[in-house]
Structure 1
């Protein structure tokens, strides 16, 4: 009996939902999506300890404003554009953490609005709305609740896909519009590449689709070649400009190593760790893959469904990129959620599909908010951050972060004890030969500079470089005393101070 009541209730919800969006969605959708974005991400607002990556990006943005350059004064393999983006957020001073988080909200909102518009080409309004809502929720399930790079670069990628969908795929435009529209779309891909290079998979898929479109529109070989030159040029121009800049100032080799070579020098996680992470990614993505299966059937059976075929290409390009890059971290799945969310929209055409989507949204919200809560229990919040700063009482004391929140570098305690400030370059076993420096010698040189504070975590994790950890803790036992501990539910964050 309880199942019947539950099913009836869900059917009533889906009926109201469908009626509302048939009548009011044109004006209500943008506002509702903004409110939905804020509600789902609000627990992170003002928290400096959301994720180690975005903490480092914010620190790097601040260093850029100070005149330091990526790959020279501070090393990382992320594109310059990402640090320039965070340099803008850093301009907000004491509100810089909230600034990047609100910037992420606006990026998610813009992406969701585009997804809604694109989903309308293959689904009813209510289904399109649910797909946009799912995208927002699923980001929180995979570490995208803050300012991870896919949160920002998915907006220009979605914009590029929307340009081609609405100007090339759907209308029967003259072939001459291909070059201009394709160039605009590939320029957006080029901007996204300067946030993270994994966009290349979607960029290549989009480029191949443009070439095919050019061919079926009867353009000559020379015309297609000219089209390709424009499209490729637009996509690579931002990256080429950055490379030329580094070459001109005499650091071209450093740029090439950081942006191209180093990623191929990384080691590999243990098979057990890799399998565990892949299974975690698959469990989170699986509910959206159900929608992909149904949508694929709908697309294949529907005659001349050009929009569906194009969106399917985007899905397989994004998912292919995730598979090729591997299951290093759970947030590597984030780029796939935008196209996968769109592919869930056609489920609204079926009674069971409507119930499935409503349940998916409700369960997804509960699971994601629970995850955000557990994340704060593990890594802390604004109160934890302030307690860490209060423990580091000497304002002139330098800090070295072996393992812990890099946001502590974005304080007066930073004094450049290393040009490799990202903690993972010291403590991750897979990075031993991939960063252009020997962490064993580097950590010994750091000790010679006698940093007053050292930040670490206990216990060691499975992928840790145990040789470096041994060197570190020998020095800590000899010359440092523990002054602060934050007890997470899995690991403890510890701060040590020089004894003398």
Structure 2
């Protein structure tokens, strides 16, 4: 049984909007300060830099799944295309990601205000900002963006719990369902949170004992709003003749790809240890919630947990969706007063340790290295031919003004055995086609590629035809090398020959 607590919602309190604006500005400032060291880093993570490069390609007419292939939903591609439309400078996506992180922290703060006081709720929002950084959310990972829509859906549902008969409640929940649908359109794994929110809204509506016609109409409209973003994308692909590409990316590729088991157990242990203080505080906080709020927030946390275990590779950033509900629940532990505050304060330990012992993005060093690579690509292209990034930073395409030579421009699709033939394009024949076109520049990394077939082909091509032009060490100590002049050096042909 929940322990009675006072209501913390004061919707008509004078100055509420002013204070809300101050809180939002504070969270945005904190998000920017926490990420300042990473702004301008050109190689934070291969997937987010690839998506920015893909966004630039979309502005030139490329169609996701047709001209650019990966398995994330169209909404994710469209999001980065919108960011690239602001500017083709890659720092743009990092700035937008910081805005999303700060806005999500503010929504978490507003949600936590329903169950605790302002200081504890503010701590929860700040914990979110620093925790996602520690879980590799310091750039533009997909959860940094879609967590905002999931948290908004939770906040709108939380605000509707005791107001089902009020005039604006149906609209409020409808917006919540649309937010949940947008999250799914950005990352498919958000479907678990979205499904829970939909079931919770339907159950709450049924318990309100309103006329059956109103109940059925509301639930149907809410379901349609949740499905709208994904359905709109699916219909577009069907009408334009790209259904096979869409279906393969959204469904078949996920069934074809084997789980990455190597190191998964160790990664899960690391995640569990890093989440332990936040999880402990959230569990304690659950005992101090009103029943309806507890059902919603605990259900959200469990749905996010199902989504986490649905991707059993257990990379750090896969835990990002878990952090949002935990940061809403954890501040409620402060109802234990001093002991609760100590427990809540312990949630800052993992991010603090990460900042002290792990965090060193080496932005300036990597930027200097990327400038060398860009120069190497430009010098290596004088003999003609396209750029092929077999393994390396996909941003090289954008930074050198080079088009994607293949829909499989995300390097992992070319060199990872787990990605072999998961798309509608067979991997080995595609690499053979790329090499038959005689790329003028090839980028490779000293990394043990698991697709031995494509690895042998590309490295044999490099050995026979190319020269090393530039190199750099990436964040993980691997050497990225630009091999150029693969079609020959025209300057050597035009230079005067020595006479006997």
Moved more, 140-149 or 452-461: 452-461
Higher helix proportion, which one?
Answer: 1
1:312–1:214 distance in 2 versus 1, CA, 3 Å: same
User: Which residue is equivalent to 1:481?
Assistant: 467
C-alpha distance in structure 1 between counterparts of 2:454 and 2:266, whole Å: 25
Q: How does 1:279-290 map to 2 (within 5 A)?
A: 279-290=269-280
Once residues 201 and 166 of structure 2 are traced to their aligned partners in structure 1, the CA distance between those partners, rounded to angstroms, is: 11
- Alignment of 1:212 with 2:197, yes or no, is no
Provide the rounded CA distance (Å) in 2 between the counterparts of 1:490 and 1:475: 25
> How many residues are matched?
465
CA contact (8 A) 1:397 1:453 kept: yes
Aligned residue in 1 for 2:266: 276
Specify the alignment match of 2:138 in structure 1. Answer: 145
* Deviation by residue 1:197-240 (Cα, 9 ceiling, x = unmatched): 11111110001101111111114555443333211210111221
**Which of the residues 354, 357, 377 maps onto 1:367?**
354
Give the secondary-structure state (helix, strand or coil) at the position aligned to 2:65. coil
Post-superposition CA distance 1:90-120 (Å, at most 9, x none): 12335x3222111111111111111111112
Match of 1:491 among 466, 471, 478: 478
Q: Which residue is equivalent to 2:306?
A: 320
Residue 179 of structure 1 contacts residue 230 of structure 1 at CA under 8 Å; is this kept in 2? no
TM-score after normalising by structure 1: 0.87
- What residue is the counterpart of 1:431 in the other structure? 419
Alignment correspondent of 1:65: 59
- In the other structure, the counterpart of 2:498 is none
Of 465, 469, 474, the match for 2:451: 465
In 1, the alpha carbon distance for the partners of 2:467 and 2:195 equals 53
- 1:309-458 correspondence to structure 2 within 5 Å: 309-349=295-335, 350-361=337-348, 364-368=351-355, 370-373=357-360, 375-376=361-362, 381-394=366-379, 397-458=385-446
| Distance in structure 1 (CA, Å) of the matches to 2:122 and 2:455 | 49
After alignment, is 387-396 or 203-212 more displaced?
A: 387-396
Q: CA deviation at 1:32?
A: 2.5
CA displacement at 1:162 relative to structure 2: 0.8
Distance between the aligned counterparts of 1:276 and 1:484, measured in 2? 35
Structure 2: distance between partners of 1:458 and 1:318: 36
Is the CA contact (8 Å cut-off) linking 2:386 and 2:440 kept in structure 1? yes
**Deviations for 1:266-288, whole angstroms, at most 9, x for unmatched residues?**
11223x42222322322322221
Q: Provide the C-alpha distance between the structure 2 equivalents of 1:414 and 1:118, rounded to a whole number of angstroms.
A: 45
Secondary structure, aligned partner of 1:91: helix
CA distance in 2, matches of 1:180, 1:29: 26
Q: Tell me the distance in 1 between the aligned counterparts of 2:259 and 2:349.
A: 37
SS at match of 1:298: coil
Change over 3 Å in CA distance of 1:369–1:187 after alignment to 2: farther
Deviation string 1:265-324 (CA, Å, 9 cap, x unpaired) is 111223x4222232232232222111122123334xxxx442233211111111211112
Instruction: Note if contact 1:62-1:90 (Cα within 8 Å) is conserved in structure 2.
Output: yes
Answer whether contact 1:398 1:452 (CA < 8 A) is retained: yes
3-state SS, counterpart of residue 454 of structure 1:
strand
Call closer, same or farther: CA 1:470–1:226 in 2, change over 3 Å: same
Q: Describe the SS at the equivalent of 1:433.
A: coil
Question: Against the structure 1 CA distance between its residues 372 and 92, is the aligned structure 2 distance closer, same or farther, given a 3 Å change threshold?
Answer: farther
Q: Cα deviation per residue 1:71-102 (whole Å; 9 max; x = unaligned)?
A: 111212222222222122212335x3222111
2: distance between equivalents of 1:53 and 1:364? 23
Higher alpha-carbon deviation: 412-421 or 209-218: 412-421
**Is the 8 Å Cα contact of residues 281 and 333 (structure 1) preserved in structure 2?**
yes
SS in 2 for 1:410: helix
Tell me, in whole angstroms, the C-alpha distance in 1 between the residues paired with 2:273 and 2:392.
28
Which residue of structure 1 lines up, in the alignment, with residue 82 of structure 2? 88
The structural deviation recorded for 1:338 is 0.6
Contact map agreement 1:175 1:214 (CA 8 A) in 2 = no
Q: 1:27 to 1:393 in 2, by over 3 A?
A: closer
Instruction: Render the CA deviation track for 1:409-453: whole Å, top value 9, x for unaligned.
Output: 214452442121111111222111311222222111111111122
Shift of 1:27: 6.7
Q: Does 1:185 align with 2:173?
A: no
Alignment partner, residue 6 of structure 1:
none
Shift of residue 397 of structure 1? Answer: 4.7
Does the residue aligned with 2:310 lie in a helix, a strand or coil?
helix
